[in-house]
Amino acid sequence: MATTDERSLADRIRAVRNAKAASFVELVTIAGLDRRTAFRFADLSGVDLRNQDLQGFDFTGADLRHAMLDGAKLQGAVLLGAQLGSYVDDAPSASAAHDLLKLSDKAIAELLSDLFIEEAWDLYGQLDEIGRGTPVLFEALMKVATEQESALRTLRRFFRIDWSGRWTYRIIKRLVSNGIEKEDLDEALALTGYQPNGPGQVGWLIKVARTFDTANYIYRRFERFGTPEHLVLLGSRMRVSADFEYLHELAARYSTGKDRDLLALRAMPSGDSIREILHTLDPVVANHSMVQVIFAEKVKTAEDALLLIAKNSRVESPMERILMASITALSPLEALVLVRALAGEHTPLRVGGDIWTELVLRLYLKRTDVDWRVSMFNDYVQWGMEPAEFIDRVGWKFMTFRDKVELASLFISVKDFDLRRELSHFERTGQDEIALDCAEHAVRAVGNQGTYEILNTYRALLRKRLPRRARGEAPSLLL
């Protein structure tokens, strides 16, 4: 076997013999073996690899039949052509099936993720034969099937019609986000029997669709769940102004007259596309103040937003809505540029009071990472703002309870107030209670160490006590 060790063979053998309690990975290091080459086509049948981190190992063609793999971390390991307890003399063995039964779903999902799709099909076929085919493992298999054709073959071969509800939604969402064409999506919907549980799922499917044709198919297929926001999402996939007539036709489902015209304008994909057709509309609609809000919803840069604000600063216009639409439409960094400009000496508009508070809070919420939120708190949120403003007066309409708890815990570093007294009457669920409890513990533990430590500790406690889905994070498979 290949090594990276210059010690004599006798020295390495003695070191291995003396390491009686060492794990497989530790023994490889002690022996000075090169994990990139030493185990290619090696006989590792029956070896105890439980709970080992096998990243960087190359097991190409290796015999891993009956190897104990439960809890092994296989991401980053090469398993091309490896025998995974799959076949003996080209037939499934009883002992191989027994080995698969001993593995956890997590361990099997990791095995599947490291295989090429043909190998993954073979392994999943064995799982299916011994009753281990489950929705969780099927999702792992679908994750391997990244090509449209292989995904459909996977569905046709292994999907069970009794896997309904959230499983089918997650499968369809993954297919759509991977760029499935509408003809193949039609077949996938028929195979899975998927039906949305409400407008929310339809909105997400339209949002992740890569093409207008697929988004339009989803919109029309599930039109009974349609909302005006779905129409806006659909319009964002369009590329030419001529499509306004189509959007105008669809808008008739939700409104009439002037409101219908404005909704169709909102659904246009960009400010430029709106300008191209604005002269064709009734002047009453074209000159309506809400058109400026619609333009704000389409801005891409802080410069565009500032020009729009300057244009409307001296006329009667819904300025607050223009500001909030702009901050919402912009990327986090462009939104930061906008807020800095509005706070600067040469701002086109002086903003204060609750409007400024809401702008700053929306900027804070643009990203969820600790660095961003601590930076926005330190630079903007804490100055001139009281906790009551985001807890009750301003933030109630767009901040979640979890957002309020997190921000309130940061304020503890600069203000003296009682978290539970201020927030407990807003609790609605058991998860809200857990979030508040975690914040209290974080403040007690590291409250004197600054905002960064408070937020990191709060989130670490929350991860321990709330499942991933309840924290608002995407599940590890398919989503």
Query: Does residue 244 surpass a pLDDT of 60?
Result: yes
Query: Does residue 48 surpass a pLDDT of 80?
Result: yes
Determine contact, residues 173/151, Cβ cutoff 8 Å: no
Distance of CA 194 to the CA centre of its chain: 22
Per cent of the chain over pLDDT 90 is: 40
Query: Does residue 357 surpass a pLDDT of 60?
Result: yes
pTM score of the predicted model: 0.69
Q: What is the dihedral of CA 18, 21, 25, 31, to 10 degrees?
A: 0
Lowest mean pLDDT among 91-95, 100-104, 238-242, 452-456: 91-95
Q: What is the DSSP letter of 73?
A: B
Q: Using 50, 70 and 90 to split pLDDT, how confident is the model at 315?
A: low
Token readout for 244 is: 């306004």
Please give the pLDDT value at position 348. Answer: 86
Radius of gyration of the chain from its Cα atoms, rounded to whole angstroms: 29
Q: Using 50, 70 and 90 to split pLDDT, how confident is the model at 95?
A: very low
Determine contact, residues 91/109, Cβ cutoff 8 Å: no
Q: What is the DSSP letter of 449?
A: G
Q: What is the DSSP letter of 94?
A: H
Position 38: which residue type? A
In 3-state terms, what secondary structure has residue 88? strand
Q: If you write DSSP's letter for every residue of 298-326 in order, what string do you get?
A: T--SHHHHHHHHHHHTTSS--HHHHHHHH
Query: Does residue 349 surpass a pLDDT of 60?
Result: yes
Dihedral pair phi/psi, residue 88, rounded to 5°: -130, 120
Query: Does residue 369 surpass a pLDDT of 90?
Result: yes
Q: Using 50, 70 and 90 to split pLDDT, how confident is the model at 376?
A: very high
Cα gap 444→382, rounded to integer Å: 20
Please give the pLDDT value at position 201. Answer: 95
What's the pLDDT tens digit per position in 73-83?
877 787 777 77
